[in-house]
Amino acid sequence: METKISSPNLGAIAAVRGSVVDVRFEGPLPPIYSVLRAGAENEMVIEVLAQRDARHVRGIALTPTQGLARGMVVTDTGGPLKAPVGQAILSRMFDVFGQAIDRKPPPAEVQWRSVHRDPPPLARRSTKSEIFETGIKVIDVLVPLERGGKAGLFGGAGVGKTVLLTEMIHNMIGHQQGVSIFCGIGERCREGEELYREMKAAGVLPNMVMVFGQMNEPPGSRFRVGHTALTMAEYFRDDEHRDVLLLIDNIFRFIQAGMEVSGLMGQMPSRLGYQPTMGTELSGLEERIANTDTGAITSIQAVYVPADDFTDPAAVHTFSHLSASIVLSRKRASEGLFPAIDPLQSSSKMATPGIIGERHYALAQAIRRTLAQYGELKDIIAMLGLEQLSPEDRKVVARARLLERFLTQPFFTTEQFTGLTGKLVSLKDALDGCERILHDEFKDYPESGLYMIGPISEARGKPQTAPPVPPPKPDAKPGAKVAAPPADKGQPAAPSDPAAEQQSKPESAPKPKAEPKPAPAPAGPVPPLPAAKPQPQVEHADVTHAS
Ligand SMILES: Nc1ncnc2c1ncn2[C@@H]1O[C@H](COP(=O)(O)OP(=O)(O)OP(=O)(O)O)[C@@H](O)[C@H]1O
Ligand SMILES: [Mg+2]
Q: Where do the domains of the chain lie? A: 9-79, 83-356, 358-508
CA of 305 to the centre of ligand 1 (A): 14
CA of 483 to the centre of ligand 2 (A): 19
Q: Would you say how long the chain is, in residues?
A: 547
- Taking each continuous run of H as one helix and of E as one strand, the counts in the chain are 16, 18
- Among candidate residues 187, 234, 335, 404, the one labeled active-site is 187
- Give Cβ neighbours of residue 347 (< 8 Å, ≥ 6 apart): 143, 324, 325
Per-residue confidence (pLDDT) for residue 499, from 0 to 100: 43
Per-residue confidence (pLDDT) for residue 466, from 0 to 100: 47
Per-residue confidence (pLDDT) for residue 291, from 0 to 100: 87
> Backbone phi, then psi, for 215, in 5-degree steps?
-70, -10
Per-residue confidence (pLDDT) for residue 481, from 0 to 100: 41
Instruction: Find out whether 373 and 400 touch, Cβ atoms under 8 Å.
Output: yes
Distance CA 73, CA 472 (A): 73
Per-residue confidence (pLDDT) for residue 509, from 0 to 100: 36
Q: How many CB atoms lie within 10 A of CB 41?
A: 6
Q: Hey, what's the torsion of the CAs at 73, 78, 84, 86, to 10 degrees? A: -150
Could you tell me the end-to-end alpha-carbon distance of the chain, in angstroms, rounded to an integer?
A: 101
Low-confidence ranges of the chain (pLDDT < 70): 1-6, 174-175, 462-547
Q: What's the gap between Cα 28 and its chain centre?
A: 45
DSSP sequence for 65-98: -TT--TT-EEEE-SS--EEEESGGGTT-EE-TTS
338 lines ligand 1 (CB under 6 A): yes
Q: Can you tell me which atom of ligand 1 is nearest the CA of 157?
A: 25
Residue nearest to atom 15 of ligand 1 (CA): 160
414 lines ligand 1 (CB under 6 A): yes
Q: Quick one: 83-356 is in which CATH superfamily?
A: P-loop containing nucleotide triphosphate hydrolases (3.40.50.300)
Strands 44-51 vs 20-25: parallel, antiparallel or unpaired: unpaired
Instruction: Quote the DSSP letter at residue 18.
Output: T
CA of 184 to the centre of ligand 2 (A): 10
Per-residue confidence (pLDDT) for residue 403, from 0 to 100: 94
Per-residue confidence (pLDDT) for residue 464, from 0 to 100: 56
Please choose, from the candidates 391, 396, 340, 388, the residue with its C-alpha nearest in 3D space to the C-alpha of residue 368: 396
Per-residue confidence (pLDDT) for residue 502, from 0 to 100: 42
CATH topology for the 9-79 domain: Thrombin, subunit H (2.40.10)
Nearest-5° angle of CA 116, CA 121, CA 122? Answer: 140
Q: Which of these CATH numbers, 1.10.1040.10, 2.40.50.140, 1.20.1440.230, 1.10.1140.10, describes 358-508?
A: 1.10.1140.10
